Each structure stands twice: as C-alpha cells, then as structure tokens.
Amino acid sequence: MSEDRSSIQVIEKRRFLRLNDYFRVSFQPATEFHDAETEEIRDVGYSKNLSLGGVAFVTDTAVAHNDYVRATIQIPELDEPIEVVGQVVRIDDVGGGKHEVAVKFLPFGIEEEQRTKLELFIYDHFLTDPMG
C-alpha cells in the first residue's frame, strides 16, 4: 500500500525557513581568540542563504569540512550584526577560485537575544515576501 503525501511534505523537509539573500559574512576559525582591541582581519564572504540553523556563503577563502568557525553576519535591517559559532558541513567549488561554504550553527553558538532578532527578521521577511 503506497503512502499518500502532499507536495508540501515532499518539498519542504527543512527544519527552519531559509532566506535567500545577500549579506556580508566575516569569519575566522573558532579556535582563534578574538580581541576587540586588536581587531584582526577576518575572511569575508557573502551569503547565499540564511536560516536559524545555519548560513551558506560564497568566499574565496579555503576552509575545511568539519572546521569550526566564528562568523559575523551583517544584516542592514538589524541594529547590530549577528555573531555565531558553527561547523562547516559542506563545501562546493563554484569556480573562479570561489567556494560555497555551508555552516551549521552550534546549539550554543548564538546568543538567545540575537537568535530571537534573527528569527523575527526571517519570519518578517517571509510575511512580506513568501517566496523568500
């Protein structure tokens, strides 16, 4: 007996809404200590998509699968950047020396206040543009 499924169940298997948008993402290995007094140059990429679970971005910086990174996501509509810690779960070569890097946020990798701001931003975006 075959199982009857709606097209929504088949298409949407993700746990979080994914916002396809272009934001500046600066990042560095999470093992490096960050000192605001001596701001070090961080690697930069630009997001392809963003959710409460992670971010995918394009960069010319090589990273390794399973690396831990500390990232800052600049969202112009928010009063301060979103700071996260995550793990690299996918890397795709997109040509021209660029890589698409997918980072899954760690459970402790985002402060609750920032997570709430990100959640409200994403849901507000989907209310005004349901196609993401």
Domain count, the chain: 1
Examine residue 10 and state whether it is found in any structural domain, yes or no: no
pLDDT in tens, 88-109: 999 999 999 999 999 999 999 9
Examine residue 94 and state whether it is found in any structural domain, yes or no: yes
CA distance 112 to 21: 22
CA distance 30 to 22: 23
pLDDT value of residue 46: 96
Examine residue 55 and state whether it is found in any structural domain, yes or no: yes
pLDDT value of residue 81: 96
pLDDT in tens, 54-67: 999 999 998 999 99
Long-range CB contact pairs, 6-11, < 8 A, 24+: none
Among residues of the chain, what percentage have pLDDT more than 90? 62
pLDDT in tens, 33-44: 555 444 565 899
Examine residue 88 and state whether it is found in any structural domain, yes or no: yes
Domain that holds residue 59: 17-128
Which comes out higher in pLDDT, residue 8 or 43? 43
Q: At 52, which CATH number? A: 2.40.10.220
Range 58-87 average pLDDT: 95
Examine residue 6 and state whether it is found in any structural domain, yes or no: no
Examine residue 21 and state whether it is found in any structural domain, yes or no: yes
pLDDT value of residue 115: 94
Examine residue 26 and state whether it is found in any structural domain, yes or no: yes
Examine residue 11 and state whether it is found in any structural domain, yes or no: no
Place of tokens 């298997």: 13
